[in-house]
Structure formats: structure tokens, C-alpha cells
Amino acid sequence: MYVGPAYGENRILGRWRAYIATGHGGNVGLTKLSFDHIKQYFKYSILDIYKPTTDDQIIIDRENGWKEILQADKLDTMKANGR
């Protein structure tokens, strides 16, 4: 399980494009898997939606809250960008 934010200029669309273009979107855990495996098992869920003007730190704080709620860090099955 991976929980990560989609903020900045391209937000959610940028994240989707990165995953579609590469199969991993820069996610270190996904780079270790074959593209066929990813196509078969990859699932994407949107947990929160924010306005484009929302401060990045608010989004990062909420990401950390979701990680705790979902125990994503304890599962440790995927690491994103060394996080």
C-alpha cells in the first residue's frame, strides 16, 4: 500500500500521467515490479480532494494522517521517492 499526495501545478492529473507514462510514476516500490504485474493489480483511490489554492503543507499533513489511519507505513510494501 502506498499513500501519497498529489499537489503542485499538475496535481492529480500530473500523478495519473506519470503512472500511465512509466507504469510507476517514480514510485520506488513499483519500479521493482513488471509492467504486466502493475497493469493487473494496480488500484488507485482518491482519499481527499483539495482546492488548487490549498497550501501544500496542509495536504502533506493530511497524507501523514491517512498513512496512520491506514497503517500504510507499517505495511511497508511500497516506498515512494525514498519517503
Question: Cell match 491506514: residue?
Answer: 70
79 has pLDDT over 60: no
The string of pLDDT tens digits covering residues 16-43 is 888 888 888 888 888 888 888 888 887 8
Q: How big, in percent rounded to 5, are the helix, strand and coil portions of the chain?
A: 50, 0, 50
**pLDDT at residue 57, rounded to an integer:** 94
Q: How far is CA 49 from the centre of its chain?
A: 14
The cell for 74 is 507499517
> What is the value of pTM for the model shown?
0.65
